[in-house]
Amino acid sequence: MKKMISVRILLPFVFCSIMVGCFSTQPAPIYFPANQGYHLTAHKRIAVITGTNDDVDITLANKMMERLVKSGAFIVVSQEELSKKIPKYPLNFHLIDRNDINIIDKSETYLPEDVQKKAELIAAKLRVDYLLIVWSINEMSCTVRDYVVVRLPVATRMIEYPSKDIVGYSRIQYSNARLAFPISEPSEEQIDDLYNITSTGITNEILRNANIEVKIEEKKGDRKPW
């Protein structure tokens, strides 16, 4: 009897602890080389820039920049240098028009000609070998039912210079979930966690593409191709 009670008491906790943890991970490609067999060259100069002045995009770009700096695999242009060399960067900087670029039927490496020209000017100013542009396909969204689920669909383009070739891209949605009790809105911690999962996931894949061994532990999150 005693055993029965303890199992009854414990069962909901066991169930909750399983469900509170992020949903099971379905491995999905995060960063694709545009051509099979292409590899980034480590120790070259790279800049990570935001595609729009949306705070979500700025945060993602900054976090990815930090991770690349930490890896030591590339010479990464600093935030200070970006602000100094790109007018109004990042708060009043616009490169990507989401309405134009996010259309699903366009090629995954699509980048409008005017954006490519602007990117080329930026790359020349920064004297980089690679320019990584990051933006959220749609704004971060949230649904609340039994769980508070936050979703962050992200796109990237990696451009190589001086060839101007788009050598890599991402098109992926990350999400994480937690029980909608006692608070039915995402906490700052949940949102920060999603930023970290997303930025780590993409940068780790970039490092792997550059044949750099990734030692940093990847946090689990749900990710699906967008």
* Min dist. Cβ of residue 105 to another protein (A): 25
From the CB of 153, what's the least distance to another protein, in Å?
11
Scan residues 9-68 and list those touching another protein (CB under 8 A). 53-56
Q: Cβ of residue 185: shortest distance to another protein, in angstroms? A: 7
- Shortest Å distance, C-beta 81 to another protein: 19
* Sole binder of another protein in the list 42, 191, 212, 214 (CB under 8 A): 191
Which residue in 25, 41, 78, 141 binds another protein (CB under 8 A)?
A: 141
Given 19, 75, 142, 214, the residue binding another protein (CB under 8 A): 142
SS (H, E, C) the chain: CHHHHHHHHHHHHHHHHHHHCCCCCCCCCCCEECCCCCCCCCCCEEEEEECCCCHHHHHHHHHHHHHHHHHCCCEECCHHHHHHHCCCCCCCCCCCCHHHHCCCCCCCCCCCHHHHHHHHHHHHHHCCCEEEEEEECCCCEEEECCEEEEEEEEEEEEEECCCCCEEEEEEEEEEEEEECCCCCCCCHHHHHHHHHHHHHHHHHHHHHHCCCCCCCCCCCCEEEEC
CB of 224 to another protein, least distance (A): 18
Among 62, 136, 198, 203, binds another protein (CB under 8 A): 136
User: Per-residue x/- marks for another protein, 143-182, CB under 8 A?
Assistant: -------x-x------------------------------
Binding site for another protein (CB under 8 A): 53-56, 88, 91-92, 136, 139-142, 150, 152, 185-186, 188, 191
